[in-house]
Structure 1
Amino acid sequence: MKPLRIAQNFRGRCARILTGDKRAAEILALSLHRLGAETIPMPLVGAGQMVTLPDDLSPATDIVFLDGDLSLPPVWPKQGEGAPCPVVGLVGSEAPSRLRALFQLGAGAFMAKPISAGVVFSSMFLAVNMHNRNAVLQQEVGDLRARRRDRVHVIRAVAHLARIDGITEDDAYAALRREAMRNRVSIEEYCRSLAQTDPQDKGPPAESNKKWRA
């Protein structure tokens, strides 16, 4: 995994506090202000009322404090996977169903109720950096899946070049890799571009073979 830059300055963050606990909201708002974060006013959620999750959140600027004692939806709106920004779960009841609901909505840190101002920073630190780490991991997994899908183009290009040049597959792979490096792309990207150029053979054009023999 790429080295992760640890966030520890939360000035400019916009916090959304979704709770029905007025005291908790006030303590959080005051603590966040001291940390340089802005609190966007949200109406208190009534007992038994389903929480409406915001759909305009940014991972770089927003953070949500979400009360697990409320009626929570199972997923975020407009999101296929995970939370759109860091989430801190406010925990009153430690019932597994409550904790599971917060976890499924992407809570990267928990704060026990009644809320204490002394744990706000550490909870934000954990939630923000866990969210950032998960984003990096998801990107890397996506890149690996894309490279795996493109391996078929590498196999076809190697077989094609070995056949038309009468060389071993190892030599064909080395030639393709050298050409990919010359073009400053991965071998998967390079072989995919060859397949798009020559969709019938899925391999390198015959007139280009001479430069690959070098």
Structure 2
Amino acid sequence: MKQADRPLLADWHAIILHRPHPSVDALKRQLELLHIRVTTVWPQLDETHAGADIVFFDADMGHDGQFPWPSGFAPMPMVALIGSETPGRIEWALAQGSNAHLLKPIGSTGAYSALLIATHAYRAALSQADDIRTLENRVRQRPVVVHAVLDLLRQGAGSEEEAWARLRRVAMDWGMTIEDAAEAICRKDRHIGSFPTRKSN
């Protein structure tokens, strides 16, 4: 993670979702040394906690219904606190959207690296989801692009290549994607101008 991408931790609020435990005390001390405001909660979060910057949660005693959002859709990075490395517990932690983990018992180190790794993984997942949505939208709009090209051919484009070139130029002039420009053309939202008259041989 580049220095410019590192979060400003002094402005952060961390929540530790865990029953009272020496590992919680150790984790809280580490986070407070980073000037992070810490709130400890058990047995569950509510809507007021959705504004936190990061959540550390108990993977050993955790259960469904502890979070006020659907599993895997946390609005912040999540770090699992793992003591029992049984497959079922790890699967449950992953299903909650864990972006990193800390092994218990927690000592005097580990929180900072887990926090940075979780933040990086969370941002990468958001970016990937945005890319997927963009691709899905482009696939959904593909028939509209074809209709726009056909409209341009009917309006005087001499060939499919000329229609495509006009569509690309219009999209640039209007400051839109090709797909959005195609929708505008099909809706006849804007006037695109006439094609040059061709001289007959």
> TM-score with structure 1 length normalisation?
0.81
Deviation at 1:178, TM superposition (A): 0.3
Q: CA contact under 8 A between 2:72 and 2:97: conserved in structure 1?
A: no
Distance 1:34 1:81 in 2: 29
Q: CA contact under 8 A between 1:69 and 1:91: conserved in structure 2?
A: yes
Unmatched 5+ residue regions in structure 2?
A: none
Q: Which residue of 1 aligns with 2:194?
A: 210
Q: Which residue of 2 aligns with 1:201?
A: none
Q: CA contact under 8 A between 1:67 and 1:91: conserved in structure 2?
A: yes
Q: Which residue of 1 aligns with 2:23?
A: 24
Equivalent of 1:155 in 146, 156, 159: 146
Name the CA shift for 1:210/1:111 in 2 (closer, same or farther; >3 Å): same
Amino acid at match of 2:172: M
Post-superposition CA distance 1:179-202 (Å, at most 9, x none): 11011111111111223337xxxx
Q: Which residue of 2 aligns with 1:53?
A: 45
Distance 2:134 2:181 in 1: 15
Post-superposition CA distance 1:23-82 (Å, at most 9, x none): 111111111110110002424x4xxxxxx2333423xx5110011111321785344852
Q: Which residue of 1 aligns with 2:41?
A: 42
Name the CA shift for 1:36/1:212 in 2 (closer, same or farther; >3 Å): farther
1:146 and 2:145 equivalent? no
> TM-score with structure 2 length normalisation?
0.85
Unmatched 5+ residue regions in structure 1?
A: 46-51, 199-203
* Matched positions, count: 195
Q: CA contact under 8 A between 1:17 and 1:64: conserved in structure 2?
A: yes
Q: Which runs of 4+ in 1 moved over 4 A?
A: none
Percentage identity across aligned positions? 26
Post-superposition CA distance 1:143-195 (Å, at most 9, x none): 22112211211110101211341521111011011011011111111111223
CA RMSD for the aligned pairs? Answer: 2.6
